[in-house]
Amino acid sequence: MEFAYTEEQLMIQDVARRIAQEKIAPSAEHFDKVGEFPVENIRLLGENGLMGIETPEEYGGAGMDAQAYVLAMIEVAAGDAAHSTIMSVNNSLYTNGLLKFGTEAQKQKYVRPIAEGQAIGAFALTEPQSGSDATAMRCRAVKQADGSFVINGKKSWITSGPVAKYVVLFAMTEPGKGAKGITAFMVDTDKPGFGRGKTEPKLGIRASATCEIEFNDYVAQPDEVLGKEGEGFKIAMGVLDAGRIGIASQAIGIARAAYERTLEYVRERKAFGAPIGTFQMTQAKIADMKCKLEASLLLTLRAAWLKQQSKPFSSEAAIAKLTASEAAMWITHQAVQIHGGMGYSKEMPLERYFRDAKITEIYEGTSEIQRLVIARAETGLR
């Protein structure tokens, strides 16, 4: 594995850092407070190639590699976590399955507008009664004599659901067959039969819009099936492997922002006649924060490197996500503590980092599910 970044990787990192620091970070407090989708900032990310980083240029993307995606995600998440959630779904969960399993026509139709920042995509796997246990889904797609499917059911917690033009949907086509009975579909949210529920009020990443979506006799044509019938669960799991690299990157970005603020504070804030950074208890926290950040970054870059070498990376992505998300929770917790009362105040972003970090332990597979994936790979047992 190469430890130096390529020119291309540094370039996208620089673009992402500039937008994150100049546009996103200054508006983060506002969007967190009002809980609004940041339309203009997301458009700007799209115009600068940040909504299709790994998407080949022929489909409107930047044609870069997985490590470039990691670096850009870290920068945007350091500016604001919610923006990076929207970015991660467009770049990864929505696009990856289409690039791997989509027909040429599907790639042109569904990938290009998202990669170019003209539209927003979503990924719908979770249901009210099934999150971790994803094969227990009830959303039903019934095949008709003409080859089309009639879809009925609900999906919950759909990131960008309120604003998405297209959705990658997973529905049960053959109940009783478990994972092998699930098929992936491309849904156009402007078609009849598609509906949206209320936007979820959330603890953190409040500018990322999340809602339930509903299907009432929604008709999907045969050319709206993604991959083969019954292949949907494998598509979802493969896509989530890559998605977890993005969430690990998001966690690193949130944690880095909290760490950098903390470094400034321990130099400036005085107690007992000395900067609080001179106290050994504070120094130990700084050292542990730095170690967790570096370990998370290296594990995430390794998973990304395996992906770009087309080597298996499922367990490595889970290791990266688990490590980075738990590091982000720990680091943001300590950052609040080191800031004392100011850490608890909305006048500083520490409490927001702390709230935002929590989601990285929950979505795209909880920490328990990452441990399950890792332990199954290690032991060969189920």
Q: How large is the C-alpha radius of gyration of the chain? A: 21
Indicate the residue among 49 and 365 with the shorter CB distance to ligand FAD: 365
* CA 125 to chain CA mean position, Å: 14
Indicate the residue among 261 and 321 with the shorter CB distance to ligand FAD: 321
* All residues at 6 or more sequence positions from 304 whose CB lies less than 8 Å from its CB, including other chains: 65, 66, 67, 69, 70, 245
Indicate the residue among 12 and 168 with the shorter CB distance to ligand FAD: 168
Q: Which does 210 bind (CB under 5 to 8 A by kind): ligand CAA, ligand FAD, none?
A: ligand FAD
Provide the β-strand partners of residue 187. Answer: 167
Kindly state whether residue 359 participates in binding ligand FAD, applying the rule CB under 6 A: yes
Residues 36-95 that bind ligand FAD (CB under 6 A): 89
Residues 101-130 that bind ligand FAD (CB under 6 A): 123-126
Per the CB < 8 A criterion, the answer to whether 335 and 261 are in contact is yes
Number of residues that bind ligand CAA (CB under 6 A): 24
Catalytic site residues? Answer: 364
Among 6, 132, 283, 345, binds ligand CAA (CB under 6 A): 132
Distances (CA, A) of 30 to 76, 204, 206, 260: 16, 13, 10, 21
Among 131, 193, 197, 230, binds ligand FAD (CB under 6 A): 131
Which structure tokens are listed for 184?
Answer: 């992936």
Kindly state whether residue 363 participates in binding ligand CAA, applying the rule CB under 6 A: yes
Question: Which part of the chain contacts ligand CAA (CB under 6 A), choosing from 132-140, 251-259, 280-288, 350-358?
Answer: 132-140
Q: What CA–CA distance (Å, rounded) separates 47 from 39? A: 12
Residue nearest to ligand CAA (CB): 363
Kindly state whether residue 152 participates in binding ligand FAD, applying the rule CB under 6 A: no
Residues 6-65 that bind ligand CAA (CB under 6 A): none
Q: Which does 373 bind (CB under 5 to 8 A by kind): ligand CAA, ligand FAD, none?
A: ligand CAA
Give the binding site for ligand CAA (CB under 6 A).
85, 89, 93, 123, 125-126, 132, 134-135, 159, 179, 233-234, 237-238, 240-241, 314, 363-365, 369, 372-373
Give the binding site for ligand FAD (CB under 6 A).
89, 123-126, 131-132, 157-159, 202, 210, 359, 362-363, 365-366, 368-369, 372
